[in-house]
């Protein structure tokens, strides 16, 4: 079972901006082959770091308002939020280690 949450235009503020934990949001689309490659990596990280960082997926086709607000022009894009602000980002497929490195310094103990 995955520990990822579905992020959409209606819950973005509550789940991401008001979160008391760092949040990784994976912006993706079903038709995007690189997104399908990154998806299982993000899912592994979500399971491994459950309780330390919140991990969500936001489908850009279904949630254009949020994608536009954060300037998502290429996918997959990962944004790291801490205290309601973007503190790190990555565009394209990256390794599991690099995904973890995006948020490592924002969690208390890894």
Q: Spell out the alpha helix ranges (H) of 6-77.
A: 12, 33-48, 64-69
Q: Is 58 noted as a catalytic residue in this protein?
A: no
Question: In the numeric block, which tokens belong to residue 14?
Answer: 């509550």
32 is catalytic: yes
* Catalytic position from the list 16, 23, 25, 35: 35
CA-to-CA distance for 27 and 12, rounded, in angstroms?
12
* Number of CB atoms found within 10 A of residue 8's CB: 16
Of 16, 23, 25, 32, catalytic: 32
Which positions are catalytic?
32, 35
């Amino acid at each position: 079972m995955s520990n990822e949450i579905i992020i959409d235009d209606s819950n973005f503020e509550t789940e991401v901006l008001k979160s008391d934990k760092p949040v990784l949001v994976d912006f993706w689309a079903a038709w995007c082959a690189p997104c399908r490659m990154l998806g299982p990596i993000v899912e592994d990280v979500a399971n491994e770091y459950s309780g330390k960082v919140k991990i969500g997926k936001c489908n850009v086709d279904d949630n254009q308002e949020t994608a536009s607000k954060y300037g998502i022009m290429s996918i997959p894009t990962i944004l790291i939020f801490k205290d309601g602000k973007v503190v790190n980002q990555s565009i394209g497929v990256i390794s599991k280690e690099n995904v973890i490195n995006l948020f490592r310094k924002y969690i208390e103990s890894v």
